[in-house]
Amino acid sequence: MKLYSQIIFPRLCEFLLNRPLVGRLRGELLVHARGEVLEIGFGTGLNLPHYPEQVRKITTVDPNPGMHRLAQKRIRKTGIEVDQRILSGERLPFDDLSFDCVVSTLTLCSIDDVHAALNEVHRVLRFGGRLLFLEHGASPEPGVQKWQRRLNWLEMRLGEGCRLDRNIGALVTALPFSSVEMDEFYLKGVPRTHGYIYQGVATK
Ligand SMILES: C[S@@+](CC[C@H](N)C(=O)[O-])C[C@H]1O[C@@H](n2cnc3c(N)ncnc32)[C@H](O)[C@@H]1O
């Protein structure tokens, strides 16, 4: 449904994800961004104000044109050049080893074929390059997991394909990265079904 996915949902993301606590986590993660950067699931561009000075250009992918439109205001305000592509992270039109850094925030939950997207991320990263991720996903607590599975159908409808029960840590560590540093915690003030966070840096 175009009205929901391209008009309402981008505004909902803007409202729900533009929070000081999430902003602080974005900032903590993005201090590690360097060189040529690719951001997957760019959304409304909420990461833009958190990139460090040395990042002058980023390439972004997101299949939702409504997100693309809503991001324009933020893009105009930043000094960063943004090459914004309306396409999916599952098949990236970039050469192998073409980026120093890939950023994914609150996106891996929504990508249909997340294995394909993560393989693409790994493929386009240079050796020594880093995947910076800040994602929500499966809680380690069985009681919470049970509710995550129960609520998935609703979340997928309201959140345009967002799954609550993906084990992001397991997905990232399954790839042949040379190291993965990761923190896991519940986000304060968010229901545990929706606020179990995986934040980390995976180096190729
Ligand atoms: C919850 S929003 C997060 C947006 C942004 N990353 C942020 O942190 O505010 C999830 C984003 O993933 C995007 N998305 C969904 N499927 C995708 C895919 N296959 N490839 C890339 N991005 C996708 C959605 O369009 C949406 O912009």
What SS3 string covers 124-190? HEEEEEEEEEEEECCCCCHHHHHHHHHHHHHHHHHCCCCCCCCCHHHHHHCCCCCEEEEEEEECCCC
**Residues 165, 149 contacting (CB under 8 angstroms):** yes
Residue whose structure tokens are 């972004």: 60
The CA-based angle 187-154-158, given to 5 degrees, is 80
The answer to whether residue 2 scores a pLDDT higher than 80 is: yes
Give the model's pLDDT for residue 36: 97
> What DSSP letter does each residue of 33-75 carry, written as one string?
--SSEEEES-TT-TTGGGS-TT--EEEEE-S-HHHHHHHHHHH
| pLDDT of residue 1 exceeding 90 | no
By most ligand atoms within 8 Å of CB, the mutation choice from 28, 61, 70, 110 for ligand 1 is: 110
Q: Is the pTM of this model over 0.95?
A: yes
Residue 199 CA to residue 201 CA, distance in Å, equals: 7
d(CA 41, ligand 1 centre) in Å: 3
Interhelix angle 9-17/65-77, nearest 10 degrees: 50
Is the beta carbon of 187 within 6 A of some atom in ligand 1? no
Q: Is the pLDDT of residue 153 over 70?
A: yes
| Tokens read off for 159 | 């959140």
86 DSSP assignment: -
- Model confidence pLDDT, tens digit, residues 90-149: 999 999 999 999 999 999 999 999 999 999 999 999 999 999 999 999 999 999 999 999
Give, using CA atoms, the residue closest to atom 13 of ligand 1. Answer: 41
Residue type, 31: V
For ligand 1, mutation pick of 107, 114, 121 (most atoms within 8 Å of CB)? 107
Identify the structural domains of the chain with CATH numbers, from first to last.
2-203 (3.40.50.150)
Q: Over range 63-83, report the average pLDDT.
A: 96
Does residue 139 line the site of ligand 1, with CB under 6 A? no
Average confidence score pLDDT of the chain: 97
